[in-house]
Structure formats: structure tokens, C-alpha cells
Structure 1
Amino acid sequence: MTETIKRKLSESPAARWTAMLIVSFTMMCGYFITDIMAPLEDLLIKGAPGWTDIEYGWFTGAYGWFNVFLFMLLLGGIILDKMGVRFTGLMACGLMVGGALLKAYAISPLFPAGGELWGFKTQVWVAGLGFATFGMGAEICGITVSKVIVKWFTGHELALALGLQVAMARIGTAAALSASLPIARAMGGICYPVLFGALALCIGLLAYVAYCVMDRRLDASIAAAQDEPEEGFKLADLRQIVTSKGFWLIALLCLMFYSGVFPFLKFATKIMIYKYNVPPAIAGNIPAILPFGTILLTPLFGSIYDRIGKGATLMVIGSVMLVAVHVLFALPILNVWWFALAVMLVLGVAFSLVPSAMWPSVPKIIPQKQLGSAYALIFYVQNIGMMCVPMLIGWVNERFAKYTLADGTIGYDYTPTMSIFALFGVVAVVLALLLKAEDRCKGYGLEEANIRK
């Protein structure tokens, strides 16, 4: 496909930004459900469900069960490259809605009390099954939305568009962290925030149906502009992905960096309560600052990458900041709310730098017809962390962080927990430096601007 045709197929700026906003709204609804339970951890443990720290960690890790053990995310990437973004996106949205409803049922009063299976409450297993189904749909939707944006923005403001998509997803995360507990208390049950999220997902599904109309029109313009059809995706193309050193460095960097952020958010509200003495009613507002900060910064850094370049450098800087943040959280100093708030703001900058450069860098290494499978493999590797790290942290909190005070109340020393997160950041720094070196050797163009003159 020639450069002239690519520009022609991008259509008008209004069309491509409209497409970006529609699919990003769907992802925003998904992220609301992803983090909706984090502020409810203390209620789940102290309240009627009576979960343990290990059970909460197990449930949180359930997000990646199907994606990791059944390879559903990799299958989703192949389906995406073979069937296209319309079929795959609608399928993913349906899985998200079904999983959210099952999760809401499991933690509702309708679920039968009692029962135990393999050492955990039956309720934990059913809630985990719902979360795993949702996670399968959410991750497949994530790679689909990424491919949609690359499809519309290649040669244009790709990093900015991906950054804005990430920013809208962070609005969903921030809304979950700040609104989940107030909704649960106002409605009188922990299932109601999840039901509210399921309703939002239904709206997101309808939005994606609207996008499908635009995508059909885009495909028609592509067919009209091409002299001959572009060669489609073949399973043999996977070899080009798995033999690329640059691809694996980005995949492992994604694993380490996100393992230091997303699982941390699942436990952050409780950390604010026990380490920084923040009242439970407002403790979720401090972690919520993290995604709110990225709403402005991720598009800003994406725009810098589009116009100036330096993508590999941005990833190095963001990874170094991640290490600094978790070291500060691990130190037994300044256990006051304003210090936690300041450190969370720094984490917000790091959380903006790396994604704004990482996701637009993948199309510079992998051809577009293979992007669905490439993003799927990266998300698969990331899901290993999303599944295993919460389980590890829940176990560490139960065995090493929890202690009993003289008055019989429970306290937590989160130094071991935060040290683990800091270690993930150290490995991310090493991987980012190796990626920068690999870019110099292979000439991927990670340090070059995305907008073509």
C-alpha cells in the first residue's frame, strides 16, 4: 500500500477522532468494572462476606485465568486478525457484560451463603469466574481498540490518539476508585457498584455498534483505493512476531511496568487506610488521583512522541520514576496523607510516560496486518502479571504484613509489599534500557517522530 493511499484512507480528521472517541468510551466503561472492587476490599474482609486477604488476592488475580491458562487472549488476537475489528469487538463486549453480571450476582444477597471449595469460599470462586469472563472480554476489547486506532491514525497523530484512549480508560479507573465505596454505602450493598458498571458496559456495547458502521465505511474506502487487495493475515506470520527481540523487550517491559501499577491499585485503598491513616470513607480518593493525572499527561506525552520522538527515552524515564515511587512507599517515613498524595502524583507521571510511548512503538516493530496477534501476545504476557501478582501480594499481606496490635486490632506493615513492587520497577528500567539499545541496532525508529512530513 502506498503512502498516498494511506493518507487517503485516513479520511477526515473529524472522522478519525470520532472513531477514536467512540471505541475509547467503550474501553472506559470496561475499566470502570476492572477496578470497581478495589475500594471495597476492607468491606469484603471486615463485612458480611468475610473474605481473607488471600481470598481477595485470589479473586483479583482471577482476571487473567482464562487469558493465561486457556490462551483465550492469544486466540482473540488471531480472531481479530482473521475476522476483523467489528466481529471481535462485539464478541468482546458481550463477554464483558456477561462476566460483570455474574460477578455482581456472586457478591449479592441473592447468592447462597456458606459453602467452600478447595479452601476458598464458593462465593469467591463464582465471583472469580465472573471476573475471569469479564477479563477475557476486556483484554480482547483492548487489543481490538488498539488496532482500530492504528487503522485510522497511521501516519497521523498515532501516539496522541492512543494516549487519549488511555486517558479515557483512566477516567473509568478513577471513577471506580472514587465512586465505588459511596455507591455501595448509599445503596446498601457491595453488589450495586458492579451492577452500575454492567449498565455502563451495555451503553458501551451500543457505542461500539455505532462504530461498526464507521468501520464498514472505512473498509469500503480501502477497497476502492487499492489496485489489488492487500495480502491477509496467515498463521505463519506469527513467526515474525515471536522471533523479534524488540517485540519481546516491549512485551516484558509491559509485564514488569504494569505489574508495578495495576496490582498496586487493587491494594492501594487499604494501604492508604493502614499506612497513611486516611479515613476509610475517602481513602479511595488518593489512588483515584493517579488515573486523573494521566488523563492530561498521557495525551501530552503522546503528542511529544508524535512530533519530536524519543519514545524509548520516555519509557526509560517512566520506569525509573516507578522505582522511586515504590521505594518511597516502602520507607517507614512520613505516614501522613499529604506525602501519599505527593508520591501518587509522581506515579501518575510515570504511568503516563511509559504507555504513551510503549503502545505506539509496537507498530514500528510489527506490520499492521499482524498487530492484532502482536498486541494479543503482549496483553497475554501482561495478564500473567495481572493474575499472579495480586495472588502474591495477597499472600504476602496475610503472612508477612499483617500483625495484631496490643488492643487486639489488626495492623499492616507494607514494607515487604512495596519492596516487591519496587523490584518490578528495577527490572522495567533494565528492559527499557535494553530496548533503547536494540532500537539503535535495528533502526525501529522508536526515537523518531510518528507524524510523517
Structure 2
Amino acid sequence: MADDEDREALLPEAAGSRKRDMAAICDPSRFAHRMLVLALMCFLGFGSYFCYDNPAALQTQVQADMKVNTADFMQLYAFYSWPNVVLCFFGGFLIDRVFGIRLGTIIFSLFVCAGQVIFATGALVNSFLVMEVGRLVFGIGGESLAVAQNTYAVSWFKGKELNLVFGLQLSMARVANGAIRNVITATCEVIKITDVKDFSLSLWLIFIICVCYYVAVFPFIGLGKVFFIEKFQFSPLQAGAINSVVYIISAPLSPVLGFMVDRLGKNIIWVMCAVVATLASHLMLAFTFWNPWIAMSLLGVSYSLLACALWPMVAFVVPEHQLGTAYGFMQSIQNLGLAIIAIVAGVILDSRGYLFLEVFFSACLCMAIIAVVMLYFVNLLRGGDLNLSAWEREKLQKQAAVEAEKEQMKRRNSDWARIRPMSAFAVRVRYLSRLGAQLPEHYCSHLSSLAHRSVLK
């Protein structure tokens, strides 16, 4: 009778537990659910990346219709990047602390949509100022949406899957970037902002590599169409096609390279290969008249490789509860660099021409190489796992799991672990045993914490 009463008392709690478990439609432990979420994550940023390069695809038309020079034209990219100098960092903070990942994603998506509508309205009424305002609003949501996408990725995928997931996300983004050029041309713990001061030297070097690399890629692609028309005498259609080849190559290649990095490890070595290959492509474009398809194809491969090897390294050096803040800060300083370099690139091009601009981009890549070398030695001296092979990293993870299990068993067997609240049933059994009452046989399983049954009798 007492057993039945105890079971009935526990039923509401169990039912509530089942209701809480059923609240989540998708379970991260199920492979099919993770694949569904991965598909949704890949499409999350498609529209944002598609609209991001609208100005690059229409550079000739925008400059002609709006009567602006190259420096003014590059303001469209600067206005996108300026708000993200701060908002990417705070976007990660807002996702972690205020909105949550779901509401934050919806809010940032609405900013992206509203910004593109304002930008298109400015083009319709022939107002360059309205177009700049549209890019500003678009930028408020664009990079923060990417932060949300990265946060989804590290929340749903762990370990070796993470590189492949970032590769697939980049692949879908590059499909959008390539499509816009060809289509338009043809027609847990509390997160604190002060976490930044706790970032390691390795993470700061990753930030430097990110900034120095991407400022030599995105501004060049933004100005590349006119470069190919002027230097290689391509038609606008041909120039738009070759300018998009970086994204076209990156789209199918990113998952393959992400899988390769997963299987081989050695992330720092792959980052070095990517930066050196990108430097080689810029030098070819600057100082030779070789077919630019060679340099741009090399740039597409190296661009994909760097994204697959660099971005997952953040998860290796930052605690899981700080990942949203770390990724947000990384994109914040990336956009700070892009905003500044976009203006500098426009000024250099107007005053000195493309040769000096390519030399400037090459200098940025040399700084990235220096940062990669420093990261290699810092990781080596501190015994980090950034450059471990996949086999070595898996071995360390298994050792860590075994040690964690041993620690858990030690805590479970300690004296403090035995001092734990007892259920009403356990209290009743203990009371009856002290009175010397004969306990039924089926109570044996509940007597492990009491005296031996023969003593109780």
C-alpha cells in the first residue's frame, strides 16, 4: 500500500518530465534531426549572402547612374561593415544573454530584409544616400545573423563534425555569392562582456589572421569586375563570370575540404597553405598577364580551405559557454577591418591604380602569414591541440572522457555523496527497520544503504 502511494506521488513529476522532454521537436542526439537542422542552417544565411554582393554585381551601373567615384562606391561596403564593428560582438552577447538563439535569429533576419528593401528603394528613387542607409540597416542584421548561424552550429554539432558543418555552411553562402554575380550581370554559464579580457593569445592570433586574410579577399572581389575589364580587356559579362569563380569553386569544394580537415587534422598547417596560396594568386594578378582564371581558381580553393580550417579552431581554444561571445567578437573585428580597408582600397585605386592596390593586399596577407607562424609556435610551446592530427585529437578526447568518468565515480563514492536527500519511501523503510519490523522480500533492492538484511532481522 505504501509502495503504491509512493508511486502515485511520483507520477505527476514523471508526467511533467515527459512533457518537458516532448517540448523540443528535434533531438540533437539523433542523426536525422541533426541533418534536418543542418539543412535549415545552410539556408539561413543564403538570402543575406545573396544580397551582400549586390553592389559588386552592379558596380558599373551604380557608378554611372549615381555619378559616384570608386571611393564613394566602396562606402556601400563600409556602411555594411561599420555597425558590425560593435554589433557582431553584442549580437553574440544578445543571443547568449537576452534574446536567445531563436528570437535573435528572427530579429536579425528582419533587419536583413528591411535593409535590402531600403537599399532597393534608394536605387528606385535614384538616391545614393538612401542606398547607404539601406546598407547600414542590412549590416545591422547581416553579420549578427551569421553569429546566430555559427552558434546554432556549435550547439548542434560537436567534435569532428564541426569542420564539415562549417564547410557546408560556407558552401551554401558561396552559392549565393556566385549566383548574385552571374544572375544580375546576365540580366549554461553566465556570459559576460568581460569574457573578452580572458581570451587567450592563441585566440587573438586567430582574430588577426581572420582580419588580415579577409581584407585581402572581399574588397578585391568588390572591385574585381572593373579590374578584369581594364587589365585583361574582358567584356562585362566575362568579367562578372571570372569575378564570381571564387564563390563558384568554393560552393562544392568547401564540404570536401571540411571533410578532409576533419580526417587529417593539422588545422594550422592548412591555414598556412591557404594564406600562402592566396598570396600567390594576388601576386599573379598583380605582376603577370597570365590567364586570370588560374589565379582566381587558386583563390577559390584557398578561400574555402581557410574557412574550413580557421573558424573551427575557435572552438578548440574557447570554453563552450563563451563560444557565442568569441565568434561574435571575431566577426566584429573582421568587419572593423573590412570597413576601414574598403575605404582605403577605394582611395588607393582612385589615386594609384590597381597595381598599388594589389601590393597593399599582398602586404595584408604577409601579416597574416606572420600571425600564422606565431600561432604555430604559441600552440607548440603551450601544448595546445590546434595542430594535432585527427587521430591524436581523438585519443586526447578519449583520455579526457575516461578521466572525467573517474572523477565522477570518485565524487559518487565519496562520503559527501552518501549524504543525499531520501525519498519518502526510503525514510519509511529506514524507520520500519529501526523498529525491528519484518520487511517484505521485494524491499531488498532498497536496503543497499542500510544495514545487512540479516542484521535487521
Please indicate, yes or no, whether the TM-score normalized by the shorter chain is above 0.5.
yes
Residue type at the aligned position of 1:237: D
Contiguous gaps of at least 5 residues in structure 1: 1-7, 112-122, 184-229, 402-413
C-alpha displacement of 1:236 = 4.3
**1:146 corresponding residue in structure 2:** 150
C-alpha displacement of 1:23 = 1.6
**1:120 corresponding residue in structure 2:** none
The reply to whether residue 168 of structure 1 matches residue 144 of structure 2 is no
Tell me how far apart the structure 2 counterparts of residues 281 and 308 of structure 1 sit (CA, whole Å).
40
Contact 1:330 1:418 (8 Å CA) reproduced: yes
Per-residue CA deviations over 1:201-241 (Å, capped at 9, x if unaligned) read: xxxxxxxxxxxxxxxxxxxxxxxxxxxxx433244433322
Match of 1:24 among 38, 42, 47: 42
C-alpha displacement of 1:21 = 1.4
Tell me how far apart the structure 2 counterparts of residues 431 and 257 of structure 1 sit (CA, whole Å).
10
Tell me how far apart the structure 2 counterparts of residues 159 and 57 of structure 1 sit (CA, whole Å).
32
Tell me how far apart the structure 2 counterparts of residues 435 and 170 of structure 1 sit (CA, whole Å).
28
C-alpha displacement of 1:436 = 1.4
Match of 1:101 among 114, 117, 121: 117
C-alpha displacement of 1:156 = 4.2
Match of 1:435 among 375, 384, 387: 375
Match of 2:76 among 59, 65, 76: 59
Q: Which moved more, 1:232-241 or 1:257-266?
A: 232-241
How do 1:37-56 and structure 2 match up within 5 A? 37-46=55-64, 48-56=65-73
**1:36 corresponding residue in structure 2:** 54
Residue type at the aligned position of 1:25: F
Q: TM-score, normalised by structure 1?
A: 0.78
Contact 1:45 1:53 (8 Å CA) reproduced: yes
The reply to whether residue 81 of structure 1 matches residue 81 of structure 2 is no
Tell me how far apart the structure 2 counterparts of residues 91 and 442 of structure 1 sit (CA, whole Å).
41
Distance 1:442 1:87, change over 3 A: farther
Contiguous gaps of at least 5 residues in structure 2: 1-25, 399-457
Tell me how far apart the structure 2 counterparts of residues 286 and 259 of structure 1 sit (CA, whole Å).
19
Greater relative contact order (CA < 8 Å, ≥ 6 in sequence): 1
**1:334 corresponding residue in structure 2:** 289
Contact 1:59 1:125 (8 Å CA) reproduced: no
Tell me how far apart the structure 2 counterparts of residues 238 and 252 of structure 1 sit (CA, whole Å).
15
Match of 1:360 among 312, 330, 337: 312
Residue type at the aligned position of 2:277: M
Tell me how far apart the structure 2 counterparts of residues 256 and 278 of structure 1 sit (CA, whole Å).
29
Residue type at the aligned position of 1:349: V
Highest CA radius of gyration, 1 or 2?
A: 2
Secondary structure (helix, strand or coil) at the match of 1:107 reads helix
**2:328 corresponding residue in structure 1:** 376
Secondary structure (helix, strand or coil) at the match of 2:362 reads helix
Contact 1:163 1:302 (8 Å CA) reproduced: yes
Tell me how far apart the structure 2 counterparts of residues 259 and 236 of structure 1 sit (CA, whole Å).
27
Tell me how far apart the structure 2 counterparts of residues 157 and 75 of structure 1 sit (CA, whole Å).
27
Match of 2:213 among 247, 257, 262: 257
How do 1:309-328 and structure 2 match up within 5 A? 309-328=265-284
Tell me how far apart the structure 1 counterparts of residues 234 and 274 of structure 2 sit (CA, whole Å).
27
Tell me how far apart the structure 1 counterparts of residues 74 and 273 of structure 2 sit (CA, whole Å).
30
Contact 2:77 2:339 (8 Å CA) reproduced: yes
Identity of aligned residues (%): 26
**1:295 corresponding residue in structure 2:** 251
Per-residue CA deviations over 1:149-200 (Å, capped at 9, x if unaligned) read: 11111134110011110111011110111112223xxxxxxxxxxxxxxxxx
